[in-house]
Amino acid sequence: MESATPQAQEPVRFSTHPSRYRHWKLSFDGPVARLVMAVDERHPLRDGYILKLNSYDLGVDIELADAVQRVRFEHPEVRCVIVSSGTDNCFCAGANIYMLGASTHAFKVNFCKFTNETRIYLEEASTKSGQRYVAALNGVASGGGYELALACEEIYLQDDGSSAVSFPETPLLAVLPGTGGLTRLVDKRKVRRDLADVFSTLAEGVRGKRATDWGLVDGVFAKSKFDAEVKKRADAVVAAAVPNEGGAAFELAAIEPARREEGGKLISHYRYVEVTIDTHARSATLLMRAPEGEAPTSSEELRIQGSDTWHLRAFRELDDALLDLRFNHPTVGLLLLQTQGDAAKVHAHDNALLAMQRDWLAREILLNTARVLRRLDLTARSLFATIEPGSCFVGSLFELAIAADRSYMLASDDDTGPTIGLGPINFGPCPMSNGLTRLATRFLAKPAHVEALAHETAPLDHAAAMKLGLVTYAPDDIDWKDDVRIAIEERASLSPDALTGMEANLRFAGPETMETKIFARLSAWQNWIFQRPNAVGERGALTMYGRPERPEFDWRRT
C-alpha cells in the first residue's frame, strides 16, 4: 500500500528545541530528569492520521532524539531520567498504524532505522554517560511503546489490572517490532526464548506479577504507590551514581543550513559541511571542512567554545545532512565524500579532545562523533571517498575514508599530491556498531597490521597509502577524471536494492553485537516483511487494521 513519496511532500527537518516540542515534556529536579510522553494527537508530522493513545510518528521521535542529546550536553548533573506518560492508563501505543499504512516502504524502513538509532543513543547515555534511564509504565506499553521501555535500563509497570506490556505486531499486523524489540527481549533482557515466543504472539500482552516473573519488567507497583516507588528507585540510582566533574553546561545551538538551487543542483551549506545534490545523476557530494580556529587547550576553553567547538558543530552538521539525504532525497544512491582544509588543525583538535577525555564534555563530544560516524555506516547509500590536493583526510576525518565502500586517491609524482594521515583517534575512540574500529574491521585478518599502523604518524602519499592498504585506487592525473567518472556512472546503474544489501553485508565484518543484530535484521527481515502481501497487500493485516474484515494470508512459508 504505497502513497506519494515523502520527497513529494514537505521535507522533514530534524532541528528542534524544547520550546517547540509538541509531544514531550522535559523537566529537571536536580540530578533527576523527567521525560513525559504527552503526544498531541492533533499535530502529526503529516496530515491524514491522528496520534491517538500516545502513538508516535517521526515527528515524535525527532523530539525524543533532541531531548536525549540535550540532557547529555545541557544537563550533565542528571544521573537518572524517568520516562513516563502524561496520558492516563496508556504509556504508549507504539508507532501509529495509520501512518505506517499510508507511508512508502522506504519511509517505513527509514522511520524504523531512525527510531532505533535514537533508542541506541538513549542506551549509550545509560552505559557511557552515567545518565540511567528508568521507564515508568503508568499504563499499557504496546509495540514501539514497549520497545522504548526496553531501551531503558530499568522498567517498572503499574499494577492496576489493565496496564500491560505487549508486542502485538505479529498477531495483529503481520510485521515485526521494527525497532529492535525482539533482539532486546532476548539479548538485552535475556528473556527465555520460549516465554518470548508466547509473549510475542499474545496481542493482549502480559501484566502484573507474570510480567516480572518472565523478566519483561523489573518490578510492578500498585497504582496508589507507583509514583512514590518510582521516585524511590530514582533516588537510589542517583545515590549510586558517580557525579560529573566540571563546570556548567551550555545550550546546543541550532543547526540550520542555507539551502539554494544552483545550476540544476541542490546545495545545503552549513559552516563545516556542504552537500551538493545532483538529482539527474542520482548522486551527492558531501564536503567536510577542517577547523578554522585553534584547538582548545583546556576544559575551560572547551566550554567557552561550547556547541561551536569544531568536533561538536561539524559532526552535528554531518548528522543533519545524512538524515536530510535519507528522508528527503531517496533517489540519491551514491555519496561522494570529500574533505578540505588544514590537516594539522584536524590533528590538533583531535589530540586536544583526546587529552581532555576524562572531562565529561570532551567525553560527550567524542561519543557524539562516534555516534554520527555510525549513522554514516548505517546510511543506505554507496560511499566513495575522493582524495585530492587540498583534502584533509586525517584523524577523525580519515574515518570518512575508511567508512567508505571505496576510496580513490590522486597519484602524483611531486610534493603537490594529496596525503592522508592517521592519529590516535583512529585506534579506539570511534568504534563501529560491531565494537571494532574501522581499521580493525578493514584488516580483520591482520590485527598485527593495525598495531603497526599506529606507528605511522607521518603524512602518507598515494604510494604509501596503497602499500598500507588504506585506499582502494590511486589513478594518476591522466586517468583520474575518467576513472572516477566511470566508477560513479557504473555504481549509479546498479540495482539500489542489491547495493543496499551488498553494502550492509560487507561493512560489518567481525563480531556480532546487539547493535549489528538489530540493524541487520531491520535491513533484511523487516525490509522484506514490510513488502509482503500478508502485511501490505490489498487484504494484508497492516492494510486491514481498524476494519471489521479479517486479513487474508498467503499460507505458504518461504
Domain boundaries, the chain: 6-227, 259-501
What three-state secondary structure class fits 308? Answer: helix
Note the pLDDT tens digit of each residue in 93-110: 999 999 988 888 889 889
The reported pLDDT for the residue numbered 8 is: 52
CA 13 to CA 454: how far, in whole Å? 40
Report the topology of domain 6-227: 2-enoyl-CoA Hydratase; Chain A, domain 1 (3.90.226)
The reported pLDDT for the residue numbered 7 is: 39
Residue 524 confidence (pLDDT) above 90: no
The reported pLDDT for the residue numbered 6 is: 38
The reported pLDDT for the residue numbered 71 is: 96
Give the DSSP H or E segment for 28. strand 24-29
Residue 248 confidence (pLDDT) above 70: no
Please report the beta strands in 367-480, taking only residues with DSSP state E, as ranges in sequence order. Answer: 382-387, 406-409
> What number is the average pLDDT over the span 244-255?
80
The reported pLDDT for the residue numbered 523 is: 63
CA 427 to CA 506: how far, in whole Å? 21
CA 422 to CA 457: how far, in whole Å? 6
CA 381 to chain centre: 15
Cβ pair 318, 288 in contact under 8 A: yes
Q: Which amino acid type is present at position 539?
A: R
Q: What percent of the chain has pLDDT over 90?
A: 86
Q: List CB contacts of 254: < 8 A, sequence separation 6 or more.
A: 15, 17
What is the CB-side half-sphere exposure of residue 360 using CA atoms within 13 A? Answer: 22
Cβ pair 177, 169 in contact under 8 A: yes
Query: pTM for this one?
Result: 0.95
Task: Compute the Cα dihedral for 135, 137, 142, 145 and give only its sign.
Answer: negative
CB atoms closer than 10 angstroms to residue 466: 16
Residue 4 confidence (pLDDT) above 60: no
Best CA proximity match to 471, nearest among 460, 485, 481 = 460
> What number is the average pLDDT over the span 388-398?
98
CATH of domain 259-501: 3.90.226.10
Note the pLDDT tens digit of each residue in 274-292: 999 999 999 999 999 999 9
Hey, do 6-227 and 259-501 end up sharing a CATH topology, with the first three levels equal? Answer: yes
Note the pLDDT tens digit of each residue in 449-508: 999 999 999 999 999 999 999 999 999 999 999 999 999 999 999 999 899 889 988 998
CA 138 to CA 493: how far, in whole Å? 52
The reported pLDDT for the residue numbered 5 is: 39
Cβ pair 356, 362 in contact under 8 A: yes
Residue 529 confidence (pLDDT) above 90: no
Residue 77 confidence (pLDDT) above 90: yes
Q: pLDDT-derived band of residue 1, with 50, 70 and 90 as boundaries?
A: very low
Residue 146 confidence (pLDDT) above 90: yes
What three-state secondary structure class fits 25? Answer: strand
Note the pLDDT tens digit of each residue in 312-357: 999 999 999 999 999 999 999 999 999 999 999 999 999 999 999 9
Note the pLDDT tens digit of each residue in 193-225: 999 999 999 999 999 999 999 999 999 999 999
Chain mean pLDDT for the chain: 94
The reported pLDDT for the residue numbered 246 is: 63
Least confident piece of the model among 170-174, 387-391, 409-413, 527-531: 527-531
CA 176 to chain centre: 19
CA 383 to CA 50: how far, in whole Å? 38
